[in-house]
Structure 1
């Protein structure tokens, strides 16, 4: 866990007694930390605990209208790179990846003769993409951000930070939305960053990643540090009750008892000979997904797992009518669904609902959350304003969002809080099929367990609801009755969850299970 670096070295960055107030309420209160060369300092805690606000303080960024006290100090050459939780927010949607990365690379090589800059910039970009574990770089460089999966977007932002040559990297949930294999590579990459003498400040809910990487850990709750110390001591002998709760709520896919035998009725949703494509610049249309046959039954939970970029989200978007460039048939109750949601009836739109991975991007930042959630019942079910708002408030409360919170605008909610609001909005359509795309990937262990318990209760209480979980996380897939595994756009395995989790038959699935187990044991590096 420890990197071979002189711990007596002066910190590259330091925070002392940071307090950040908004409207008289402290969202960070008295936080101190040191970012040492070659060391990984991790901040863990529930969504909304103040991790991101603390991390952004190292960049001099604070919420609008915030009152800030305390000190933030950087070394003279202490340039800070930032890897955000929602990468799409920092990637220009109108520019190809090659342009985004080349601009940064060129800024680093201005000292070179003009004739050598183009080749040198290209070499730096390809090297950064390789270090960020992005495969098929030539094809990826021609794409726009929206043509990448969430995991690919995350790694492009990591490549940007590496190109900057920062002395400190603040990694805000860098493994959000990543499969175990990619997560393991990011652990290796951040470990390699630290080994080069760069300080890493890791903000994460993923305790497996923290266990594999961190030298020191700060546990946050409600803006305060409730426990801190060397990582090994904290894992073995946590002193604070909240730390123990975070550790106790961490599930294991090997211990699931939710994958009991399931007796399906006739499928509510059928996929037949589905082939989806992306338009890939000069190369034209590229096949990114092939799914010959896949069914979803009433009351069933189907988990679709695979590495980032394997086609999971493309499959989900085809089902929801958000990706039109595909062949084959998608049938709801044996009736073929139109490819585009624009051609679907109001009943069909309500029947298949999608909860996005990036909940923040799915909300209008100018309108209160409650109004946006209630709008679903008005638009898709014809409910009147009063009854829709009453139902929305009840659903949001059941998902753990109090009334005073849901009257705020989305920018005043944490990522985890917005994810629960997005789930509530989809539920107000009273769907037959609920597609959840990595909805637990940005949540701490306690909040994730609450969301999974809610989904389990929904399946138990509503016989007409079926659930598709798009996930990289086998600890989330344990909720499922069946699992479908995608690799490089191909459906390589499907079957009862218990069998797939314990006796996988395809080499990729075997590798996925082994890597997950290795990360869970804290041996990711």
Structure 2
């Protein structure tokens, strides 16, 4: 039985074709991976299958779907209401499908299927109280509540640690065995190797059958650590949390100028909370953050303009970090204007040049955020932070929405940035292969505690703690699948 049949699907704006005569079909229970560089047209194709389109676009061709469709967006925050508790939002969706007395059971079952067996404890939380990985699994649960015949998943492993990625792959495989067709839009080639029955490569809006090795790329080789041991950033006995729950417990770390420290851990381990405390976006309960021997205020608005420039944060959810009404180029340039007093025209020219080096031409950067892909926005967010000329650059899952080539390019850019500026780099990531190619040292968090730290080579090749071993083993299993 055919779950979806797509024939000559075309998406046009003016005389430009975003998607050009795409044709493919999926049988019930089949998994197809839609792969390609960031901005190639993957998300536009997926939205067109749902009848959605960019403003001013025209759809043509035919799409036949046998039953209900579930959709998981690339940025989970786009599918979560920031002012509603998770349980309330899930219950509202469940009431559309089952009688009132079955709503709670349907919600909890969907959470279990989304690999949140302890999901009940998250029902009273708001989205901002969840890690990126937890948000992603909540969105998957939303999609599964309706028992769809076709599941379209846009980067479902974004923000997930290797263990959860392995579990998610197992769940998607189990869902497909129940007769649900799955269309994966992904840069996660390990997931493609593990799951996909067919690979569809998107190049400039055109789709053709391919294989995973055609889009593979290698990571850069790590350089030697800096000679200086004097820390530019010190975190001392930091404790923080949400409401009455501590999510960080006495965390301490140091990063020297030019050094690259990767913070690893499973989803929900406290990595993003740590990053937000350092950048002044989440007030810690005790401890301190010190920049060059000077304590930083735990509250962002109490930091000086110079301190704001010297500690920059590139967020996991890049789309949410941009105003939807202003061209991306203007927003990127504004950092240099406001924090480094660079004249407007010079700031704009420098922003355009830096963006172009990362594959975003000025014509694209001049659009509002809705006109850029998730991967393009992540690169733009990096350039915006770099223009502040920071001493400390915090990167929270910035490679998660990038294809392998762009990911390798971005890691190279980060390496060159440090060579040129000597800034310290704090990388919050689940990308262990990227860590091996970039980080000098690794720190591992588990439930808010530091459980292991050391050189990247030692920790990733001879992990001592059970959590680290699980992450490394799951990453290796994904590569070998």
Q: TM-score, normalised by structure 1?
A: 0.89
Matching of residue 297 in structure 1 with residue 256 in structure 2: yes
State the 1:273 CA deviation. Answer: 0.7
Matching of residue 224 in structure 1 with residue 206 in structure 2: yes
Inter-partner Cα distance in structure 1 for 2:6 and 2:286: 55
RMSD: 1.4
The SS at the match of 1:268 is: strand
Match in the other structure for 1:48: 39
State the 1:399 CA deviation. Answer: 2.3
Inter-partner Cα distance in structure 2 for 1:24 and 1:480: 45
Residues 225 and 259 in structure 2, CA contact (< 8 A), matched pair in contact too:
no
Within the candidate set 215, 231, 237, 1:273 is matched to 237
Match in the other structure for 1:424: 383
1:98-497 correspondence runs (5 A): 98-110=87-99, 117-118=100-101, 120-228=102-210, 234-235=211-212, 244=214, 246-247=215-216, 249-251=217-219, 257-258=221-222, 260=224, 262-279=226-243, 285-463=244-422, 465-478=423-436, 479-497=438-456
Matching of residue 18 in structure 1 with residue 9 in structure 2: yes
Residues 11 and 48 in structure 2, CA contact (< 8 A), matched pair in contact too:
no
Match in the other structure for 2:19: 28
Inter-partner Cα distance in structure 1 for 2:221 and 2:385: 27
Residues 21 and 206 in structure 2, CA contact (< 8 A), matched pair in contact too:
yes
The SS at the match of 1:143 is: coil
The SS at the match of 2:45 is: helix
Match in the other structure for 1:89: 78
Inter-partner Cα distance in structure 1 for 2:19 and 2:480: 32
Residues 302 and 484 in structure 1, CA contact (< 8 A), matched pair in contact too:
yes
Inter-partner Cα distance in structure 2 for 1:353 and 1:261: 21
Aligned length: 480
The SS at the match of 2:95 is: helix
Match in the other structure for 2:479: 520
Inter-partner Cα distance in structure 1 for 2:480 and 2:13: 40
Instruction: Summarize deviations over 1:12-57 as a string: whole Å, max 9, x none.
Output: 2111011111122111111111121111011111111111121122
State the 1:259 CA deviation. Answer: 5.8
The SS at the match of 1:133 is: coil
State the 1:395 CA deviation. Answer: 1.8
Inter-partner Cα distance in structure 2 for 1:105 and 1:366: 34
State the 1:121 CA deviation. Answer: 1.2
Inter-partner Cα distance in structure 1 for 2:290 and 2:392: 12
The SS at the match of 1:42 is: strand
Distance 1:457 1:261, change over 3 A: closer
Inter-partner Cα distance in structure 2 for 1:95 and 1:504: 40
The SS at the match of 1:458 is: helix
Inter-partner Cα distance in structure 1 for 2:304 and 2:117: 40
Inter-partner Cα distance in structure 2 for 1:261 and 1:90: 41
Residues 198 and 209 in structure 2, CA contact (< 8 A), matched pair in contact too:
no
The SS at the match of 1:107 is: coil
Residues 80 and 166 in structure 1, CA contact (< 8 A), matched pair in contact too:
yes
Instruction: Summarize deviations over 1:348-393 as a string: whole Å, max 9, x none.
Output: 1000000011111111111111111111111112222122212222
Distance 1:377 1:257, change over 3 A: closer
Instruction: Summarize deviations over 1:463-506 as a string: whole Å, max 9, x none.
Output: 2x111110011012120010111111111111111111111111
Residues 278 and 325 in structure 1, CA contact (< 8 A), matched pair in contact too:
no
Q: Which runs of 5+ in 1 are unaligned?
A: 1-8, 111-116, 229-233, 236-242, 280-284
Inter-partner Cα distance in structure 1 for 2:55 and 2:468: 46
State the 1:250 CA deviation. Answer: 4.3
The SS at the match of 1:347 is: helix
Match in the other structure for 1:500: 459
Inter-partner Cα distance in structure 1 for 2:158 and 2:63: 27
State the 1:265 CA deviation. Answer: 2.3
State the 1:104 CA deviation. Answer: 1.4
Inter-partner Cα distance in structure 2 for 1:57 and 1:449: 29
Q: Which runs of 5+ in 2 are unaligned?
A: none
Residues 271 and 428 in structure 2, CA contact (< 8 A), matched pair in contact too:
yes
Residues 435 and 470 in structure 1, CA contact (< 8 A), matched pair in contact too:
yes
State the 1:334 CA deviation. Answer: 0.9
4+ long deviations beyond 4 Å: none
Inter-partner Cα distance in structure 2 for 1:377 and 1:460: 20
The SS at the match of 1:365 is: coil
The SS at the match of 1:494 is: strand
Q: TM-score, normalised by structure 2?
A: 0.97
Match in the other structure for 1:239: none
Inter-partner Cα distance in structure 2 for 1:17 and 1:291: 58
